[in-house]
């Protein structure tokens, strides 16, 4: 049976890549990002539409999205050169905090005012902070966006994972306390995500030090690429095994190389040339997992979440830009490039099922519905924002 399974998986992989390639040509006719095409063709070919790719195959290919997110985080880490951070200053950090907090507060208030229970509102609002860096990064790369807004955006989405974890930990701690009527565990529940963030960054730094040595020792392009794959796989595997954030570990891996190796630009350029098929499959499979039939089930609460999360992101980014005296285009458009939401949010929703089990299933359904909407519209909105800011051509 094993040879047949491998054969089928390879055939399905070939179908996914070929359909994705075809979609990239079709979406260009209507001037949409390639990411949107990959998602749509995955949705059409997936088990909830035509069924060309069955559900058990998507489950068997589950390692691909995990690896893809690792490489995406690694690429984002490349933006964290000290020279770049000195150039942009505190702006990305402040905006990452304000846009995440803005989404949390606006969604919390909107849900409570529309009649939702406070613990439920706090948990769902906490997940609103999470942003999917993958779609944003792919749009930036496809259109070769350059400028102040793009630089700030890439730094913000990199930091966003950390701020989302912090706000989620704090919000769920308060929600759990209200729900149970106790206060003994609040401090530990708040400190836990902070410890996870610190441990993830520390582990990434240690692996990054080893990685820098490997890049220096192996000078051939093929060997360096092999070392890169090995280190990203190691980061993702350790993160999954230890219950840490593999995104933060891989991000720190890229940041360490960017700041300690003279060959970093060569390595990053080489990696960028080898990862497009992985990213293509990631978005195809993400689309295949979207079940549009669940959209009607979310009701008013789902609509409130989708709309007010966007409002919170945009207003929070604007406030952060104002505080740091960022350019007008950064203040005006950056929030719109933070709309996509996917993997991290789904992961937090799964965690919420154990934190507040009575609300868990409902929260997960709303987040999955939000993912459908955000992943299909987010890349288009990101492209429009960067275009209006004058940082992409065409």
Each residue's pLDDT tens digit, 94-103: 888 898 888 8
| pTM for this model (two decimals) | 0.70
Count of other CB atoms within 10 angstroms of residue 222: 9
Q: Where are the alpha helices (DSSP H) in the chain?
A: 2-29, 34-45, 55-60, 63-77, 82-88, 91-113, 118-127, 133-142, 148-180, 186-217, 221-242, 246-260, 264-274, 276-288, 299-323, 328-333, 343-355, 357-388
User: 308 phi and psi, to 5 degrees?
Assistant: -75, -25
Q: Residue 1: what pLDDT?
A: 33
Q: What's the rounded mean pLDDT across residues 26-43?
A: 80
Q: Are 332 and 138 in contact (CB under 8 A)?
A: no
Nearest to 376 by CA among 352, 340, 348: 340
**Which tokens in the block code for residue 83?**
């020279």
Q: Does 5 score more than 50 pLDDT?
A: no
**Which tokens in the block code for residue 295?**
């959209």
Q: Are 323 and 98 in contact (CB under 8 A)?
A: yes
pLDDT bracket for residue 21 (50, 70, 90) = very high
- Cα-based angle 359, 370, 52 (whole degrees, multiple of 5): 110
Summarize pLDDT for 359-393 with one digit per residue, the tens.
776 777 787 777 777 877 888 888 888 888 888 87
Looking at the chain, the whole-number percentage of residues with pLDDT higher than 90 is 13
Q: Where are the domains of the chain?
A: 64-388
pLDDT bracket for residue 233 (50, 70, 90) = very high
Rg (the chain; Cα; Å): 20
- Residue listed under structure tokens 């960054």: 201
Q: What CATH number belongs to 64-388? A: 1.20.1530.20
Q: Are 103 and 313 in contact (CB under 8 A)?
A: yes
- Alpha carbon distance 67, 281 (integer Å): 11
- Alpha carbon distance 323, 193 (integer Å): 27
């Amino acid at each position: 049976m094993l040879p047949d399974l491998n054969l089928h998986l390879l055939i399905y992989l070939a179908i996914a890549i070929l359909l994705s390639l075809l979609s990239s040509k079709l979406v260009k006719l209507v001037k949409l990002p390639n990411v949107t095409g990959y998602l749509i063709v995955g949705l059409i070919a997936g088990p909830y539409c035509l069924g060309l790719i069955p559900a058990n195959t998507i489950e068997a290919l589950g390692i691909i999205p995990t690896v893809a997110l690792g490489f995406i985080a690694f690429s984002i880490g490349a933006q964290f050169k000290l020279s770049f951070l000195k150039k942009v200053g505190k702006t990305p950090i402040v905006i990452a905090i304000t846009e995440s907090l803005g989404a949390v507060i606006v969604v919390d208030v909107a849900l409570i005012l529309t009649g939702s229970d406070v613990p439920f509102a706090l948990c769902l609002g906490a997940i609103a902070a999470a942003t999917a860096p993958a779609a944003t990064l792919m749009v930036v790369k496809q259109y070769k966006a350059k400028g102040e807004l793009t630089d700030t955006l890439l730094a913000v989405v990199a930091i966003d994972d950390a701020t989302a974890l912090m706000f989620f930990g704090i919000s769920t701690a308060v929600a759990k306390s209200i729900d149970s009527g106790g206060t003994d565990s609040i401090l530990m529940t708040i400190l836990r995500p902070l410890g996870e963030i610190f441990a993830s960054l520390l582990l990434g730094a240690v692996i990054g030090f080893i990685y820098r040595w490997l890049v220096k020792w192996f000078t051939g392009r093929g060997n360096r690429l092999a070392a890169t794959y090995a280190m990203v796989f190691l980061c993702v595997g350790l993160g999954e095994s230890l219950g840490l954030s593999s995104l933060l570990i891989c991000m720190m891996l890229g940041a360490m190389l960017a700041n300690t190796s003279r060959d970093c630009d060569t390595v990053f350029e080489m990696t960028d040339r080898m990862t497009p098929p992985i990213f293509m499959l990631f978005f195809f499979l993400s689309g295949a997992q979207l079940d549009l039939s669940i959209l009607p089930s979310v009701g008013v609460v789902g609509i409130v979440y989708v709309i007010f999360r966007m409002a919170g992101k945009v207003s929070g980014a604007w406030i952060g830009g104002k505080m740091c005296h960022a350019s007008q285009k950064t203040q005006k458009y950056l929030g719109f490039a933070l709309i996509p939401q996917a993997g991290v949010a789904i992961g937090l929703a799964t965690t919420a099922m154990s934190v507040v089990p009575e609300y868990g299933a409902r929260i997960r359904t709303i987040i999955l519905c939000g993912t459908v909407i955000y992943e299909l519209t987010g890349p288009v909105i990101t492209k429009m924002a960067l275009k209006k800011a004058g940082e992409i051509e065409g």
